[in-house]
Amino acid sequence: MSSLKLCSSFFLQLIFTLFVFDLANAKGLKVGFYAETCPQAEAVVKKTVVPVIARAPSLAAALLRMHFHDCFVRGCDGSVLLNSSTHQAEKNAGPNLSLRGFEVIDRVKTALEKACPGVVSCADILALVARDVVTAIKGPYWQVETGRRDGRVSTKFRGHSEFVIAFIPS
C-alpha cells in the first residue's frame, strides 16, 4: 500500500513538473490551438495511442518520461526526437539513452501527417501523447494547451549537462 502511495505521489509531482515546464514554454499556447487548422488532431493522437497502450501498458510511463526529458532541456520543443548521423543529438545523451517509445511517436506523427500535413508540431505531439497515455491507464485527464514550436537544435552535450546540473546538490 505504501508503494502505491509513493507511486501516486511521484506521479502527481511529475505531472506538476511537466505543467510548470509547459508554463515556461507557454508563448501563445492555448487549448484548441488546432481547432481550425487540424480539428481532428487530438482525436487522431488518442486513436493511435490507446490501442498501443492496451497492448503494452508499460509504454505509458516511458512516453510520459519522454515528454519530461524533452521539456527538461531547452523547454518542451520536441528536440529529444531529433536524430543525428554522428550520434550527437539530445536523445544520445546519457540520461536519454534509456528512453523508449519513439516508434509510438512516429506512428502518431504519420497519422497526423496523413490527416493534416505539416500542421501539428512534434512538441505538441509529445504533450498530447503524454496526456493520452496517462488517461489510457486510468490516470487523470487534463486539457493540453497546444501551439508549441518545434526546436531545431538538439545536442548531446546540452542534454547531458542540463540533467547533471539539476541533480548536483547545492
Q: Which of 67, 69, 87, 160 is catalytic?
A: 69
Question: Three-state SS for 166?
Answer: helix
Looking at the structure of the chain, the number of domains it has is: 1
pLDDT exceeds 80 at position 168: no
Question: Could you list the residue range(s) of the whole structural domain that residue 105 is in?
Answer: 2-166
Q: Is 51 exposed, middle or buried (0-12, 13-18, 19+ CB in 10 A)?
A: exposed
Model confidence at 75, pLDDT cuts 50, 70, 90, reads: confident
What's 147's domain CATH number? 1.10.520.10
Q: Is 69 a catalytic residue?
A: yes
What are the binding residues?
70, 73, 75, 77, 79, 90
Render pLDDT for 88-141 as a digit per residue (tens, 0 to 9).
Answer: 777 777 777 889 999 999 999 999 999 999 999 999 999 999 999 999 999 999
Q: In 56-155, which ranges are continuous DSSP H helix?
A: 59-72, 102-115, 122-136
Q: What are the cell numbers at 45?
A: 493522437
Query: Measured between alpha carbons, how far is 16 from 5 in angstroms, rounded to an integer?
Result: 16
Question: Angle at Cα 48 formed by Cα 47 and Cα 54, nearest 5°?
Answer: 90
pLDDT of residue 3: 58
What are the binding residues for Ca(2+)?
70, 73, 75, 77, 79, 90
Render pLDDT for 6-62 as a digit per residue (tens, 0 to 9).
Answer: 555 555 565 655 555 555 455 689 999 999 999 999 999 999 999 999 999 999 999
